[in-house]
Amino acid sequence: MKVLSFIPELCVGCHVCEEVCSETWFKVVDPARSRIRIIEKDGSMSALYCVQAGDCIAVCPVNALSRNKQGIVLLKKKECVGCLSCVGFCPYGAMFFHPDETTPFKCVACGKCAEACPAGALEIVEVETPSAPGVQA
Partner 1 sequence: MSDRNILTEFTYERPTVERGYAGQTLYVDVSDRRVAARPVTAMMKEKFVGGRGFDLWLLWNGVRDTTRWNDPENEIVISTGPCGGTTQYPGSGKSIAVTISPLTGIPIDSNVGGHFGPYLKFAGWDAIEVQGKAEKDVIIYIDGQAGRVTIEEAPADAPTDTHLLGPWLMARYAQSEEDRELTSIVSAGTGAEHALMGCLNFSLYDRRRRALRYKQAGRGGIGTVLRDKKVKAIVVRSPGVSGDANHPADLGRLQATGAEMHREVRTFDDKQNRMRRRGTPYLVQIMDDYDLLPVHNFKFGSHPDTPKINGDVWEARMTQGLPDGCWYGCTVSCAHAVDGFELKTGPYKGEKVIVDGPEYETVAGVGSNCGIFDPDAILEINFYCDTYGIDTISFGTAMAFAMECYEAGILDKDKTGGIDLSFGSAAGALEVLHQMSRGEGFGLIFGLGIRRMQDYFIEHFGADPGFVRDIGMQAKGLEYSEYLTKESLAQQGGYGLTNKGPQHDEAWLIFMDMVNNELPTFEDKAEALHYFPMWRTWFGLCGFCKLPWNDVVDPKNKLTPEPQKIMHHVENYRQIFMGVTGLEITYDDMITMSERVYNFQRVFNIRLGHGLRADDAVPYRSVGPVTVEEYESRAARYDSQLREWLGLDPTTMTVEEKMAAHRKYRQERYEKLIDAVYKRRGWTENGVPTLEKLRALGMDLPEVVAVVEKHL
Q: Measured between alpha carbons, how far is 78 from 75 in angstroms, rounded to an integer?
A: 9
Closer to partner 1 by CB, 64 or 72: give it. Answer: 64
Instruction: Give the one residue of 4, 48, 73, 80 binding partner 1; rule: CB under 8 A.
Output: 80
Check: CB of residue 129 under 8 Å from CB of residue 2. no
In the complex, the smallest distance separating the C-beta of residue 126 from partner 1, rounded to whole angstroms, is 30
Site track for partner 1 across 93-132, x = CB under 8 A: ----xxx--xx-----------------------------
Residues 25-64, interacting with partner 1 (CB under 8 A): 58-63
Question: Footprint of partner 1 on this chain (CB under 8 A)?
Answer: 58-63, 80-85, 87-89, 97-99, 102-103
